[in-house]
Amino acid sequence: MINTSICATLIFTLLSALTPVVAIAQTLTGRVVSVGDGDTLRVATGGRTVTVRLACIDAAETTQAPFGKAATDRLRQLLPLGQQVTLRVADTDRYGRSVAKVYKGDLSINLVLVQEGQAVVYRDYLSACPELRERLLKAEASAKSRRIGFWSQATPVLPADFRRGKRAVNTPKPAGTRARSQTNSSPARDYNCSDFRTQAEAQRVLDSTPGEDPHKLDRDSDRIACESLP
């Protein structure tokens, strides 16, 4: 007869093998390499560079003038190149970016951007920030009531709604505008950096329009698209 303890060990081992692995939040420290937009940056940590999407907030797209540029500029002020930061990583998104709460010392960068009206609370993903939830919501309500930053608009369009609208709507060309040749390799739709998984994918779209950047993928005009992507 097989010993009872051996049976229990075998059963436990089998169940462990069948149990899905659950991602565990991790805390990393590193230095800022670049800022891509108002809610994305790259950080060198542990001998590698990771692309970070700030958790629980959403900044205006770069094409949402002037608020996208203002949010990007503010994040660059808060986190200049070489700035040491702490990342409390909550998840990895579909683009392979580390979704994280970013801290400069004890200062929550995610919270500051919302307080200043440079970003809104991303309610669809707010569960990633349980310890900041109430503070984020109160900060947004305050910025909204003071009509600062993004909330200074008469009819603000949330960044997530703006992205959906850009994908869903094809803006008609003015009468008399010459249509692109069907042999032209440039895409018919509009693109944002968030539409691509990797920088190489975005680069192919940019390279399809030599001398042009109709999708605004190259913010600093160095012919390198979406530098915040992995």
- Residue 130's domain comprises 26-152
The amino acid present at 204, given as its one-letter code, is R
Both 50 and 145 in a single domain?
yes
H/E stretch holding 99 reads: strand 98-104
d(CA 77, CA 96): 25
Both 104 and 207 in a single domain?
no
d(CA 8, CA 140): 53
Both 75 and 141 in a single domain?
yes
- Contact between 2 and 49 (Cβ < 8 Å): no
Q: How far is CA 155 from the centre of its chain?
A: 23
Both 147 and 194 in a single domain?
no
Both 126 and 219 in a single domain?
no
If one counts the domains in the chain, the total is 2
- Contact between 138 and 126 (Cβ < 8 Å): no
Question: To which residue do tokens 């040749």 refer?
Answer: 181
Q: Quick check: is 190 in a domain? A: yes
d(CA 53, CA 119): 13
Q: What is the pLDDT of residues 11-69, one digit of tens each?
A: 544 444 443 333 457 999 999 999 999 999 999 999 999 999 999 999 999 889 899 99
Both 141 and 228 in a single domain?
no
Question: To which residue do tokens 């949330």 refer?
Answer: 158
Query: What CATH number corresponds to the domain at position 126?
Result: 2.40.50.90
Q: What is the pLDDT of residues 146-203, one digit of tens each?
A: 999 999 999 999 999 998 885 443 434 444 444 333 333 333 457 788 777 677 777 7
- Contact between 70 and 151 (Cβ < 8 Å): no
**What is this structure's pTM?**
0.64
**More confident position, 69 or 8:** 69
Q: Quick check: is 5 in a domain? A: no
d(CA 134, CA 140): 10
Q: Quick check: is 140 in a domain? A: yes
**Max CA separation in the chain (angstroms):** 89
Domain edge (last residue) among 152, 170, 193:
152
